[in-house]
Chain A
Amino acid sequence: MRRAATFLLLGVLPWLTFSAWAGDSVPKPTIRIATEGKCIAPAEEMRRNHMDMLKHQRDKTLRQGIRGEKASLNGCIECHAAKSTGSVIGHDDSFCQSCHSYAAVKLDCWDCHQPKAGYKATGVKP
């Protein structure tokens, strides 16, 4: 039993990881970036830290009232909303959704925030 487990750990796992590096057999998210150009930080850093940047900014803006921060969710949307739908979510290749569904990380932002760029809300008197 133990030998089987050791075999699994030493033999199979590195092989699996290696094939992940090799990259061919592992599905990757398809992200369509509508507006190419410079982001507020290199892509590598954005991929790793966007959540912290946004969280830091959201607390500063909401709780202290600091406006005009570099990182901003609406800023993300302005650049990254898909040309076809105008949104960062809704399809499997939408900017936010593509990676988040790939990584199985729940997206909470859009329960409250508007995912469409340049959206103009209407008002209906209650």
Chain B
Amino acid sequence: MSNNDRRGFLAASAGLGLVAIAPGVHLMQVAQARPAGEPASKLQRWGMLVDTAKCATGCDACVSACATENGINEKVADPRQAAQWIRKIDLKDPKNGRQHSLPMMCQHCAEPPCVDVCPTGASMKRADGIVLVDRHICIGCRYCMMACPYKARSFVHQPLTQQNPEVPRGLGCVESCTLCVHRVDKGQKPACVEACPEGAMVFGDLEDPNSDIARRIAQTATTQVRADLKLNTGVRYQGI
């Protein structure tokens, strides 16, 4: 073994050692950056769990964080025409007056109606369950907006110029929460999850039985919004 070879061998074993401790790190970090050149995998399904008991009425830290992360900054004269990727909904049960508040965004369904109805296939679900709009082939027909049970999608009504380089968005196409796909692919959590001051949102891999989110869903009662539609949503709620 020459010197060079030995150096290579040492580096490789160090690398192996890192990989060996990676699962532990994995639990802490929720996600790992996917190596370059590797596609999203069917073995994962990204999801989110929102604990509405912790979600404070009047707090919209998640909404602000989303706007900053995704470059939602356009001035829109008519608020009805503004794009909203995530919004806070205040709920009140008329029967007993119980009130609570929760964030509503794309639920990243396993059976997304928006994908079913899209005439061109622009509305799509990535292998790891993230529902996206391929703006390259979106024709702006808005059929997905008609089909979405959560009003999660917005149509861009005016020209945009101040996009975040990592989050392209523009005139005449439909858009919605991407689960911060550009962050998730780097091993980070979505901006809203990171920003929540109450820690009410948990992000992780629903398919990994050891992940925080999967364990909590296995242990406590969680709800899918409009569960009657059997869409198998990736975003779950607790305490509705």
Contacts and interface: CB of A to CB of B under 8 A. Distances in A.
Contacts of A59: 136
Given A58-B136, A124-B67, A67 B36 contact: yes
A67 B35 CA distance: 8
Contacts of A113: 163, 165, 168, 170
A119 B127 CA distance: 30
Given A69-B37, A111-B171, A126-B79, A62 B134 contact: yes
A87 to B, nearest CB: 10
A2 B31 CA distance: 73
Interface string A27-67: 00000000000000000000000000000001110111111
Q: Which of A67, A74, A111, A126 has the most CB of B within 10 A?
A: A126
Given A64-B127, A119-B165, A112 B135 contact: yes
- Name the prevailing secondary structure of the A interface residues: loop
A65 B67 contact: no
Interface residues of A, number: 27
B71 A123 contact: yes
Nearest to A116: B165
B234 to A, nearest CB: 15
Contacts of A4: none
B69 interface: yes
B83 A123 contact: no
B36 A123 contact: no
Nearest to A120: B164
Given A62-B134, A64-B127, A65-B128, 16 more contacts: A62-B132, A63-B124, A64-B39, A65-B40, A65-B126, A65-B185, A67-B36, A67-B37, A67-B186, A114-B162, A122-B68, A123-B64, A123-B66, A123-B69, A125-B60, A126-B87
Q: Which 8 A-B pairs have CB atoms at the shortest separation, nearest pair first?
A: A68-B36, A123-B68, A65-B40, A121-B71, A123-B67, A112-B170, A121-B164, A64-B39
